[in-house]
Structure 1
Amino acid sequence: MNYPDDGAAVKIFVMIIWILDTLHVSLMCHALYYYLISNYSNELALANGVWYASVAVNLCIACLVQV
């Protein structure tokens, strides 16, 4: 509504970035809950890479925005 001159490609790109950012925040919330609530004081849980998916999504966002 605020940018009527933007093409459909730009609007779709913004929507994709928005969805990926929402996914990233969700994955980070899951990782924080996993490490700080579910496995509190469990050093062996640190060996599990729950946060890897969040890093991958963040990398995708950074690459798309920089391109």
Structure 2
Amino acid sequence: MPTLKHRVNLSVPVELDHALHLLARRDELSVSSKALELLRRAIEIEEDDVLLAITEHRDKKNVTFVSHEKAWK
């Protein structure tokens, strides 16, 4: 039966495969479901790192901030 999801084939080291199986068994998930969950978390972490870099670049010292009320007048 066709699926709407795209498939990704990965070759992983034995240690990673073993850890993935242990985590899946612990959480009572299939290995593919656990891999998907971990991949989603990793992407969120990467996104957070990018957003942090942007905010650190924009952050300035000795800046006068405008209040919300003044900004929208």
TM-score, normalized by length of structure 1?
0.48
Point out the structure with the larger helix share. Answer: 1
TM-score, normalized by length of structure 2?
0.45
Higher RCO, 1 or 2 (CA under 8 Å, sep at least 6)?
Answer: 1
